[in-house]
Amino acid sequence: MRVCLSGSRLRPRARSRTSSETRFRCGEVVGSANLAHRWRAMLRIGLFFGAARFLFHRAARRITIHSSCLHAGLSRRRFPSCRQFIGRSALSSKTLKTIDLFAGIGGIRMGFERAFGDNVETVFASEFDEHAVKTYAANFDTPAVPCSSKEPMCTAPYVYGDITQVSAEDIPAFDICLAGFPCQAFSIAGSKMGFEDNFKGRSRGTLFFDVLRICERHKPRVIFCENVKGLVMHDKGRTLKVIRGALEQIGYTVYDAVLNSKDYGVAQNRERIYIVAFRNDVDSSSFRFPEPTDAGVVLADILEDAPVPSRYYLSDTYLATLERHKQRHRSRGNGFGYMVRPLDGKSGAIVCGGMGRERNLIADHREHSMVPTTAIKGKINDADIRKLTPREWARLQGFPDSYKLPLSDTHLYKQLGNSVTVPVIEAIAREVRAVLEAQD
């Protein structure tokens, strides 16, 4: 007799076999052994296929691909963290909705989209700087539906300006809040006035409370914030304590850490504080900030192909002025002044104000034109000293070369200096995703 496995039912079929023949064929147990022996054989089959199915799904969840880097024409050496998650997971059947507050040029959004893939959708965006909105709109096409509070600054996507003028009730429901609230109020390069800071009649320091206002209304599962390292010690630590306490008061478990961009696949020494808050009903006990991934990328890896336009090379007159400025500060015991970075090292933090460009100069001895294309005093310097280009600044922040830079250099330096390091955001977002997957 042959016993066929068809679902959970056994169907006897008449066919003779020798009593010693016992083997597997096409999911069937063949043989004339006793009933107990046949049940044991079927149990082994079930365990085998169950284990195979478990291992298959486990492997599928770990599949990753560096498609973003390949699409941008970049080497893995340059941006090892530039990767796109694919594969099925607990989140593959649902889309999490995000809002992008103080969106800048979309660096935080890009990091989360890389980590979550098609499982996130931006349903609302807000940014006060109209020039940053132009760069944002050139690179993102959502949200596609306007809210009803006020007219957006542009269409496709609908990006709103002053968040203080947007009603929380008019913002669509969302699962994750992304908020790189303004850092100038806490920055070492700024006045460090914190919650008392005022700019154009708007208190930049208190814009964090608009994040609270919106999140208290919608109760998202996750709130993500980024700011300068100076926030940690501002007002002897009291400012950070207020922020943490406010998030806890509206029902969140808060984690924060200072991470350095140079440890995550970019050639920039940039320390920032990252705050991740999970709603209390989300078990976040397993959350950890990511370990460093790659500290090997250097400035030589992010340079544009030669020849670099001559407008980026300093004039000998301006270089002499920078040297006098540096010597003047050195005589007073200060460390201010321009800096030429070695190509086998990292840049300093790129910032939008002060000496942000001049403290990240390089000596690029590759072939280039010595003919000025802009009005300068003197001639192009003979030491081949130049500033980094906006595209090179974008690479220092981990943006792929496919990211569009549509505005003038003046605006781009400001926007990139104010932005975030995308691979760091992506690494944190992957840890956030792991927590949410465990819940689902």
Contact 128, 207 (CB under 8 A): no
The per-residue pLDDT for range 287-332, each reduced to its tens digit, is: 999 999 988 999 999 999 999 999 999 999 999 999 999 999 888 8
Distances (CA, A) of 372 to 268, 412, 429: 29, 21, 45
Sort strands 159-160 and 84-85 into parallel, antiparallel or unpaired.
unpaired
Provide the residue type at 222 as one letter: V
Q: What is the DSSP letter of 264?
A: B
pTM of the entire structure? 0.76
The dihedrals phi and psi of 222, each to the nearest 5 degrees, come to -140, 140
C-alpha 155 chain-centroid distance = 25
> At CA 261, angle to CA 105 and CA 100, rounded to 5?
30
Domain boundaries, the chain: 2-61, 68-296+420-439, 305-388
In whole angstroms, give the CA distance from residue 294 to residue 273.
19
As a whole number, the mean pLDDT across the chain is 79
Q: Which residues are catalytic?
A: 183
CATH number for 68-296+420-439: choose from 3.40.640.10, 3.40.50.150, 3.30.360.10, 3.40.50.2000. Answer: 3.40.50.150
**Whether the bond into 80 is cis, omega within 30 of 0:** no
The per-residue pLDDT for range 6-54, each reduced to its tens digit, is: 333 333 333 444 433 333 333 333 344 454 455 455 545 555 555 555 4
Looking at residue 137, its pLDDT comes to 93
In whole angstroms, give the CA distance from residue 346 to residue 12.
74
In whole angstroms, give the CA distance from residue 365 to residue 349.
23
